[in-house]
Amino acid sequence: MTVNLADFSAEALTRAFRRREASPVDAAAAVFRRLDQWQPKINAFCFEDRERTLADARASEARWQAGAPLSPLDGVPISIKDLILTKGWPTRRGSRTIDPTQPWNDDAPSVARCREAGLVIIGKTTTPEFGIKGTTDNTLTGVTRNPWNLERTSGGSSGGSAAAVAAGIGPLSIGTDGAGSVRIPAAFCGGFGLKPSFGRVPAWPLSPFGTVAHLGPHTRTVTDAAMLMNVISRSDVRDWTSLPFDARDYTVGLNDGIRGLRVAFSPKLGYVNNVHPAVAAAVRRSAEKLAELGAHVEEVDPGFDNPLEITMKLWFIGSATLYGGMTAAQQALVDPALAAQAAAGARVTVPELQALTKRRGELGIQMRKFHERYDLLVTPGVSVPAFKARASNEWDTPIEQFLDWTPFSYPFNLTQQPACVCPCGFDDDGLPLATQIVGPMHGDALVLRAARALESAQPWATMAPLS
């Protein structure tokens, strides 16, 4: 059987580089072939520059030949969501309002750390306009589709990243998560997605959506996510909200298991009524597996009401900020969903904002108290399998209901806790399903450890969509 480097994890690639069984140039070439195969079908990328990518791969190859790689991930292909600045490449944010010919002089912190570590950036991945919704479609580049079923959505807003990783177009990608935007598409596309604790991965420029917005990895394996966290969690003075630098190695202790951990299993969070039967059954099996691995699993709800109103109104305020800074000509170009969100955000009063902030704080306190009793919380990733993909002008869902199908993700953007999604099976149509693992604030390593335990018991990395 022919070995295809596009199917390798980041961990496996670096092992091959170290043993001189393959080179970063070989890996880049394999990823380009996979991109050429899948891009016409899934539309996961909005920009690539192969000449620059190959130059970076050749430089990495020389470092490995000299025995002087910049990091364990030197030479590994990675993609970057098109909300995140990349020096020399346009960041259009899925919007026709942004001029791609303007100077692009800065790398975002996560991108700067990747370059310092020698990773090879293969391109920019698609996003809905300014990341405003949980599907990936925009009026600039169209619809991004799910590699498992081209008629279904990849999710969003990091749908391009999740679809790319699922299709083997690089083992790593960096996305953003403001209400589930890393976890939703990872769940729909059968990958691993981590939303770290807020501030653990520095971001700049600061998001118009404020302190609900996180950056995190899309990968096929937990180990790859841990390795990428070692790179992108390093500090950057441009993010004044970032946490103090934690020099931990996220791969250390990753395989220590979960024996003795206290795990709360909440299949509905106490308020979700639309969980698909296949999702419910698969996630329950994951909870049972955690118990078999030695965790003390108790079915219990955290005890908070649905915080959808808090999420949506805070989000709408961010949309109003974006929209209000545009010219009339730019406003005429945006996704109708952005205009509708902006109009709703403009109606939120200052006293109402203060009340929302207070309610958000109370939710955060409640979850911190909850984690005094439980180490981890396990829930479904998304309440339904991936649904039909649509163009931006084909959605008829009221903006107030646009997150009804992902009620398990946005609460933990409000609380800023680390959370990940892990594949946990398929529905009858062959679509991936996912379990969410939520940890206490700053418990990123614990979340990764639990996910790794689940991965070791029910491996998913060999699952891949058919071409």
Is 235 part of the annotated catalytic residue set? no
Residues above pLDDT 90, as percent of the chain: 93
Q: Enumerate residues 6+ apart whose C-beta is below 8 A from 296.
A: 260, 261, 262, 263
Residue 393's pLDDT band (cuts 50, 70, 90):
confident
Going by pLDDT thresholds of 50, 70 and 90, the confidence category of residue 225 is very high
Query: Does 462 fall in a domain?
Result: no
Query: Within a domain: residue 59?
Result: yes
**Helix/strand/coil (H, E, C) string of the chain?**
CCCCHHHCCHHHHHHHHHCCCCCHHHHHHHHHHHHHHHHHHHCCEEECCHHHHHHHHHHHHHHHHCCCCCCCCCCCEEEEECCCCECCECCCCCCCCCCCCCCCCCCCHHHHHHHHCCCEEEEEECCCHHHCCCCCEECCCEECEECCEEEEECCCCCHHHHHHHHCCCCCEEEEEECCCCCHHHHHHHCCEEEECCCCCCCCCCCCCCHHHCEEEEEECCHHHHHHHHHHHCCCCCCCCCCCCCCCCCCCCCCCCCCCCCEEEECCCCCCCCCCCHHHHHHHHHHHHHHHHCCCEEEECCCCCCCCHHHHHHHHHHHHHHHHHCCCHHHHCCCCHHHHHHHHHHHCCCHHHHHHHHHHHHHHHHHHHHHHHHCCEEEEECCCCCCCECCCHHHCCCCHHHCCCCCCCCCHHHHCCCCEEEEEEEECCCCCEEEEEEECCCCCHHHHHHHHHHHHHHCCCCCCCCCC
For residues 437 and 422, the answer to whether their CB atoms sit within 8 Å is yes
Residue of 154, 181, 197, 383 with catalytic role: 181
Rg (the chain; Cα; Å): 21
| Gap between the Cα atoms of 41 and 460, Å rounded | 23
pLDDT at residue 49, rounded to an integer: 98
pLDDT (tens digit per residue) in 312-357: 999 999 999 999 999 999 999 999 999 999 999 999 999 999 999 9
The pLDDT tens digits of the residues spanning 102-137 come to 999 999 999 999 999 999 999 999 999 999 999 999
Confirm if 150 and 163 have CB atoms less than 8 A apart: no
Domain that holds residue 112: 5-457
Q: Is residue 331 part of a domain?
A: yes
Please count the structural domains in the chain.
1
* pLDDT at position 467: 60
Residue at 123 is within a domain: yes
CA distance 107 to 88: 9
- Rama region for 270: left / alpha / beta (φ>0; ψ in -120 to 50; rest): left
Give residue 1's pLDDT: 47
The answer to whether position 466 is within a domain reads: no
AA letter at 159? G
Residue 463 falls inside a structural domain: no
CA 61 to mean position of chain CA atoms: 29
Predicted local confidence at residue 463, as pLDDT = 77
Q: What is the pLDDT of residues 282-310, one digit of tens each?
A: 999 999 999 999 999 999 999 999 999 99
pLDDT higher than threshold 70 for residue 279 = yes
Alpha carbons 344 and 359: distance in angstroms, whole number: 19
Is a pLDDT exceeding 80 seen at residue 207? Answer: yes
The pLDDT assigned to 332 comes to 97
Whichever domain contains 378, its CATH number is 3.90.1300.10
Average pLDDT score over residue span 395-410: 83
Mean pLDDT (the chain, rounded): 96
pTM: 0.98
> Which listed residue (71, 79, 81, 173) is catalytic?
81
For tokens 């990328």, the residue is: 45
CA distance 23 to 30: 11
pLDDT for position 462: 73
- The Cα 95–Cα 99 span in angstroms is 9
Q: pLDDT per residue over 210-219, tens digit each?
A: 999 999 999 9
Q: Is there a catalytic annotation at residue 286?
A: no
195 is catalytic: no
Task: Convert the pLDDT of each residue in 67-91 to its tens digit.
Answer: 999 999 999 999 999 999 999 999 9
Q: Which of 71, 110, 154, 157 is catalytic?
A: 157
For residue 54, tell me if it sits in a domain: yes
Summarised one tens digit per residue, pLDDT across range 413-428 is 999 999 999 999 999 9
Determine, yes or no, domain membership for 464: no
